[in-house]
Amino acid sequence: MVKSENTAARASNAKVMNRTDLTRRLVAKLKGEEAVVAGIGNTNFDLWAAGHRPQNFYMLGSMGLAFPIALGVALAQPQRRVVALEGDGSLLMQLGCLSTIAMLAPANLSLIVMDNSVYQITGGQATPAASSTDLVAVAQGCGLAGSTWASDEEDFERLVEAALSAKAPFLIAARIDGEPAAATTHRDPVQIRERFMRGIGARH
Amino acid sequence: MSSIEEHSSGDAWDAIALRALKANDVKLIAYVPDRVLATLIESLHADSFFTCFPTAREEEAIGIVSGAWMGGTLGAVLMQTSGFATLANVLASLVLPYQLPIVMLVSERGTLGEFNSGQALVCRTMRPVLDSLAIEHHTITRLDELEFIADRSIKQAVATQAPVALIFSPLLTGGKVFKA
């Protein structure tokens, strides 16, 4: 039986942090116009908990597609910074998108994965990657040079600042604990989509 | 464009399809390759109007064009029948509930001379999935109907904020045949 705590052999010197806290630190670094796309479950719940912004998009299904959706927004609006927030289990479902992002290399896309090595929302079962796979190494191998683990909260903030002005996408990975999200997103997909489109100026 | 007759341009199916995409401002094209679609994909790459690129998986492509639409750019996903078979979850949990106009161009495998039994049964799942989700779909068999169906369907997708699947039959494209 694999323990449900973060047992990742990789990034062994990275501090185990808290998703709610890191998400709030991320939002505090935004200037206002950045789009943020957050993946299914706790990832978008904590984005909601950090204070709703009209430039936020919350996924209710389609596990694994936060990075592809954010890539689409970034391609459609090259002048706008787009931040994608994803969970490790979700990213594991769609690793191929890292190659697509590396191939297209949109200068305005920033990628963050919250890695607790478990499927937290379904009861904390370990992911198949938990004991053997380094997602940062995967991202680097896909061509996202500069991908890195955040060693602690200050390092996370420094990396976010760097990502927000970077000229090429890279993955920031954060080891996180098993705490649940601080709130639950209001689940109204049409309202989420319409608000997001107005928030990023695609509709008036 | 009011009648099928007006679309008798003499062009091949891939040129007509490209024209319909361009006429409707479908700028972002994400695809997982298909032998039958190869000439269309090549033409899309060669035309600077389009941003055209491959993805690792069809549902990834749907995610990308979903994001692009929300950012203000209409997109299409090119795939073959087996690729469509991977899409039920993303259609039911993203495209439909969020009301996103996604254009799907599907090269139909598994019928009219299919040589690969791995394709034949997958093909049987496609229309039941589309029907179960109440997704608009048309199977295009005739060259003279292609532009009308494609043009009207893309316009309807945008106007109704709903996906559409255009299935390119071997009757239209010639399909892929076994070469011994």
- Phi and psi at B54, nearest 5°, equal -85, 155
pLDDT in tens, A107-154: 999 999 999 999 999 999 999 999 999 999 999 999 999 999 999 999
Residue to substitute from A58, A59, A73, interface B, most B β-carbons within 10 A:
A73
CATH, domain range A19-177+187-199: 3.40.50.970
Using a CB-CB cut-off of 8 Å, the residues of chain B touching A95 are 56
> Does residue B105 belong to any structural domain of this protein?
yes
3-class secondary structure per residue, B53-119: EECCCHHHHHHHHHHHHHCCCEEEEEEEHHHHCCCHHHHHHHHCCCCCCCEEEEECCCCCCCCCHHH
Q: Looking at chain B, which residue has its C-alpha nearest residue A102?
A: B55
Q: Give the total number of structural domains in chain B.
A: 1
> Does residue B179 belong to any structural domain of this protein?
no
pLDDT band per the 50, 70, 90 thresholds, residue A5:
very low
Confidence at residue B55, expressed as pLDDT on a 0 to 100 scale:
98
Residue B51: domain span: 5-114+123-173
> Does residue B103 belong to any structural domain of this protein?
yes
CB contact under 8 A, B71 and A73: yes
Residue from the list B56, B67, B94 with its beta carbon closest to the beta carbon of A61? B94
Domain range summary for chain A, segments of one domain joined by +:
19-177+187-199
Residues belonging to chain B with any Cβ–Cβ distance to chain A shorter than 8 Å = 28, 51, 53-57, 59-73, 75, 89-90, 92-94, 97-100
A93-111 mean pLDDT: 98
- Please say if the pLDDT value at position A4 is more than 70: no
Q: Looking at chain A, which residue has its C-alpha nearest residue B64?
A: A72
Confidence at residue B1, expressed as pLDDT on a 0 to 100 scale:
47
Using a CB-CB cut-off of 8 Å, the residues of chain A touching B73 are 72, 75-76
pLDDT in tens, B113-158: 999 999 999 999 999 999 999 999 999 999 999 999 999 999 999 9
Confidence at residue B178, expressed as pLDDT on a 0 to 100 scale:
80
Residue to substitute from B98, B103, B133, interface A, most A β-carbons within 10 A:
B98
Using a CB-CB cut-off of 8 Å, the residues of chain B touching A39 are none
Question: What's A122's DSSP letter?
Answer: G
> Does residue B180 belong to any structural domain of this protein?
no
Confidence at residue A153, expressed as pLDDT on a 0 to 100 scale:
98
Q: Looking at chain A, which residue has its C-alpha nearest residue B97?
A: A189
- Higher-confidence residue of B4 and B53: namely B53
CATH of the domain at B107: 3.40.50.970
Confidence at residue B6, expressed as pLDDT on a 0 to 100 scale:
52
- Identity of residue B98: Y
Residue from the list A62, A71, A97 with its beta carbon closest to the beta carbon of B94? A62
Contacts with B120 (C-beta within 8 Å, 6 or more apart), sequence order: B110, B111, B114
Q: Give helix A19-29 / helix A42-49 axis angle, nearest 10°.
A: 50
Q: Looking at chain A, which residue has its C-alpha nearest residue B100?
A: A193
